[in-house]
Amino acid sequence: MRMRETFDGVFVVGAGLAGLCAALAAAPRRVLLISPGPLGEGCASAWAQGGMAAALSEGDAPELHAADTIAAGAGLCDPAAVAILTREGPEAVRRLAALGAPFDRTRDGGFAQSLEAAHDRARVARVGGDGAGRAITTAVIAAVRRTPSIEVREQVRLRRLLTDAGGRVRGALVENGARELVEIVAPATLLATGGVGALYAVTTTPREMLGEGLALAALAGAVIADPEFVQFHPTAMDLGLDPAPLATEALRGEGAKLVNADGAPFMSRYHAAAELAPRDVVARAIEAERRSGRGAFLDAREAVGEAFPREFPAVFAAALGAGLDPRRQPIPVIPAVHYHMGGIACDAWGRTSLAGLFAAGECAAAGVHGANRLASNSLLEAAVFGARAGRAAAWSGDPQTTPLADLPAPDLPEAALQSLRARMTRDAGVVRSAEGLGRLLAEITALETANGRAAPLIAARLIVEAALERRESRGAHFRADFPALGLPVRTRRTLRQAPADAAA
Residue 295 lies in a domain: yes
Residue 419 lies in a domain: yes
**CB of 420 within 8 A of CB of 457?**
yes
How do residues 83-92 score in pLDDT, each as one tens digit? 999 999 999 9
Residue type at 308? F
**CB of 35 within 8 A of CB of 357?**
no
Which pairing describes strands 297-299 and 257-259: parallel, antiparallel, or unpaired?
antiparallel
Domain that holds residue 468: 406-501
Backbone angle region of 32, left / alpha / beta, with phi > 0 → left and psi within -120 to 50 → alpha: beta
Residue 467 lies in a domain: yes
Residue 21 lies in a domain: no
Please name every residue paired with 430 in a beta bridge, in sequence order, or none if there are none: none
Residue 68 lies in a domain: no
Quote the number of domains for the chain: 2
Listed residues 281, 303, 335: the one ending a domain: 335
**CB of 351 within 8 A of CB of 208?**
no
Listed residues 335, 356, 384: the one ending a domain: 335
How do residues 381-394 score in pLDDT, each as one tens digit? 999 999 999 999 99
**CB of 423 within 8 A of CB of 443?**
yes
**CB of 441 within 8 A of CB of 420?**
no
DSSP states of 163-177 as a string? E-TTS-EEEEEEE-T
| Spatial separation of the C-alpha atoms in residues 200 and 248, rounded to whole Å | 20
- Can you give the CATH number for the domain in which 462 is found? 1.20.58.100
Q: Comparing C-alpha atoms, which of 464, 453, 451, 454 is closest to residue 424?
A: 464
Query: What confidence score (pLDDT) does residue 496 get?
Result: 58
Spell 16-34 as b/e; 16+ CB within 10 A means b: bbbbbbbbbbbbebbbbbb
Query: Could you tell me the pTM of the whole model?
Result: 0.94
3-class DSSP state for residue 175? strand
**CB of 458 within 8 A of CB of 219?**
yes
Active site residue 490: no
Residue 440 lies in a domain: yes
Element (H, E) at 320: helix 313-321
Phi and psi torsions of 172, nearest 5°: -150, 150
| DSSP state at residue 6 | E
- Can you give the CATH number for the domain in which 246 is found? 3.90.700.10
Residue 472 lies in a domain: yes
Listed residues 317, 335, 353: the one ending a domain: 335
Q: Which of 160, 279, 351, 474 is catalytic?
A: 279
Per-residue pLDDT of the chain (504 residues; tens, 9 = 90+): 689 999 999 999 999 999 999 999 999 999 999 999 999 999 999 998 889 999 999 999 999 999 999 999 999 999 999 999 999 999 999 999 999 999 999 999 999 999 888 899 999 999 987 889 999 999 999 999 999 999 999 999 999 999 999 999 999 999 999 999 999 999 999 999 999 999 999 999 999 999 999 999 999 999 999 999 999 999 999 999 999 999 988 899 899 999 999 999 999 999 999 998 888 899 999 999 999 999 999 999 999 999 999 999 989 999 999 999 999 999 999 999 999 999 999 999 999 999 999 999 999 999 999 999 998 999 999 999 999 999 999 998 777 888 988 899 999 999 999 999 999 999 999 999 999 999 999 999 999 999 999 999 999 999 999 999 999 999 999 999 999 999 999 999 988 554 433 333
Residue 301 lies in a domain: yes
